[in-house]
Structure 1
Amino acid sequence: MTEAERHQQIVSMLETRPFATVRELIDALSVSPATVRRDIEKLHDAGEARKVFGGVASISHAARAHALPFEQSSDLAVDAKRAIAARAEMLCRDGDMIMIGGGSTCHQLGLRLAARPLSIYTNSMPLAAALGTYGACQITLAGGTLHREPGILHDAHIPAPDFFASRLFLGAQGVGAEGVMESHPLLPKATRPMLERADDVIVLADSRKLSVRARFVNCPIERISTLITDDAVAEEDVRILEDAGVEVLIASASGEKT
């Protein structure tokens, strides 16, 4: 198989899937790891694919430019979200007081923490309902009106929590040099009280989110301590965040070490 034929086969694979690992390409093309990595590099330079951690991604696979309701978002990138949640759980110590925001990736983290001896404050109604039914951890709910589309509780007249949390885990519609971005105008208002009461802000966002630029800044970049994403993230996106002082942790959704 010639180099051109290999490149065409890789591009064809990415027409039906967003990401292919180095191991999958080795098996599909019957070539060495070094050859696959050279092919990925050339496709990236030619603008035909994106070089990412652990493999290659389609340049046409971008996240939606508008926010989805919680129920719809929960069905997208499930493996990546579970891997991110598993990595985030490692940052939680028994006895911690933590805050968890709304969104499907944060929901996955909350489910993993359900039986842990720690205290969780959340404004997510779906997470509160799940923890109330299946959890053993202590739960504190943000007060206010239920806003069904983002699935959160909020009331502008209710003050910030009267305690400080060691960590705030925050989801995102988009992540970039500005910070965490959202399309729903309510979310920055609902997040602000938690930002005022958290030592560290840890953003949980699958790699699709790093190509999205939404309208409202939910959390400025300088407030973010850590971003946890999956191994389909583009290297240039990681560099932008690391240059801004954000620690980037990569969770392997493909099952490979990266």
Structure 2
Amino acid sequence: MSSASGRLPAGRKAELVAYVSQAEQVTVSELAERFDVSPDTVRRDLQQLHQEGLVVRTHGGAVSVDAVAGVEKKLDVRLQMHTDEKDRIGALAATLVSSNSVLMINAGTTTLAAVRHLGELRDLTIATNNLRIPSEISPKIVRDLYFFGGTVRLTGQATVGPVSLQLQGGRDLQLRCDLALISVGAVSAPGGYTTSNLSEAVMMGEMMERSGRVAILADSSKFTEPLFAQIAELDRADYLVTDAEPPAELAEALERAGVEVLVAGEETASERRLIGL
């Protein structure tokens, strides 16, 4: 790419998009070697292609638009991606929960991972739009389990609608919870917490507003450019639970926003299994 024009040459542009589409997920170093350009040039190329909607920029590389679209559509596919990272994040996020507390949990594979690590807790009240939770959670730990109504998204196995529960007579119950566990599509300094679906963004934002504390659960592949719909600004969360240190710009923005970054190490999940959690 010419430093004078700042434009990506058409030939390399087409080849790069085709390669990312075929590989589905690539790294900056891989592209730099393949196209015999510097990593900085690759980063500029990917940024331009992301802005044009031809690839999806990630921390350290990019993924194809088709791969992202397929992941958005099918929960079963998402359950097979980054499984170790999600398990470690879930184990660490579960340490933020105490018995006798009230939780809001949104639909997502990383929040499901957290639910699987709540086994030693008791008397939890959970309000959620995640239709997979009953099959993932032990009845021993739950006092009450509530589902938010709305449209059922079969591919995501979740409901999308208002964050509300009604009393007899149709009056809405005023909801407050101790902690919200929220899985998001992307985390970035300029965009905050974002997702690709507008209705889901509104629902997740409402969950966060009704919570005393908020923990965002996101593996490091979510450190990308903002997605379509903003859920909230960075400072709306108390914790970011992830599997790797965020890149410098994001780390600085999170620190300014007062967000505590909790990084799940390799030992987190295995240690919890050893003690029976």
TM-score, normalised to structure 2, is: 0.64
CA gap of 1:88–1:212, structure 2 versus 1, over 3 A, is same
Partner of 1:224: 237
Partner of 1:102: 107
2:87 counterpart SS class: helix
CA gap of 1:200–1:62, structure 2 versus 1, over 3 A, is farther
Note the 1:177-256 alignment, pairs <5 A.
177=189, 178-231=191-244, 233-253=246-266
CA gap of 1:65–1:175, structure 2 versus 1, over 3 A, is farther
Identity among equivalent positions (%) equals 22
Q: Which runs of 5+ in 1 are unaligned?
A: 1-15, 19-44, 51-56
Partner of 1:128: 134
Partner of 2:94: 89
CA gap of 1:156–1:60, structure 2 versus 1, over 3 A, is closer
CA distance in 1, matches of 2:245, 2:163: 41
Note the 1:148-167 alignment, pairs <5 A.
148-156=154-162, 158=164, 162-167=174-179
Partner of 2:116: 111
Q: 1:176 touches 1:241 (CA, 8 Å); kept in 2? A: no
TM-score, normalised to structure 1, is: 0.69
Structure ranking higher on relative contact order (CA contacts 8 Å, 6+ apart):
1
CA gap of 1:161–1:128, structure 2 versus 1, over 3 A, is farther
Counterpart of 1:165 in structure 2: which amino acid? Answer: C
Q: 1:169 touches 1:201 (CA, 8 Å); kept in 2? A: yes
Partner of 1:168: 180
Q: 1:173 touches 1:212 (CA, 8 Å); kept in 2? A: no
- Cα distance, 1:232 vs structure 2: 5.8
Note the 1:137-152 alignment, pairs <5 A.
137-138=142-143, 139-152=145-158
Q: Which runs of 5+ in 2 are unaligned?
A: 1-24, 28-37, 44-57, 166-171, 269-277
Counterpart of 2:176 in structure 1: which amino acid? Answer: F
CA distance in 2, matches of 1:141, 1:87: 25
CA distance in 2, matches of 1:157, 1:88: 22
Aligned residue pairs: how many? 207
Counterpart of 1:59 in structure 2: which amino acid? Answer: G
- Cα distance, 1:162 vs structure 2: 2.9
CA distance in 2, matches of 1:175, 1:144: 26
CA gap of 1:114–1:17, structure 2 versus 1, over 3 A, is farther
CA distance in 2, matches of 1:239, 1:62: 25
- Cα-to-partner distance string for 1:152-194 (whole Å, 9 max, x where unaligned): 2133495675331111010011011222101112202322432
2:116 counterpart SS class: helix
RMSD in angstroms over aligned alpha carbons? 3.2
The partner residue of 2:83 within 51, 74, 78 is 78
- Cα distance, 1:195 vs structure 2: 2.4
Partner of 1:23: none
- Cα-to-partner distance string for 1:114-135 (whole Å, 9 max, x where unaligned): 552122211111123433xx43
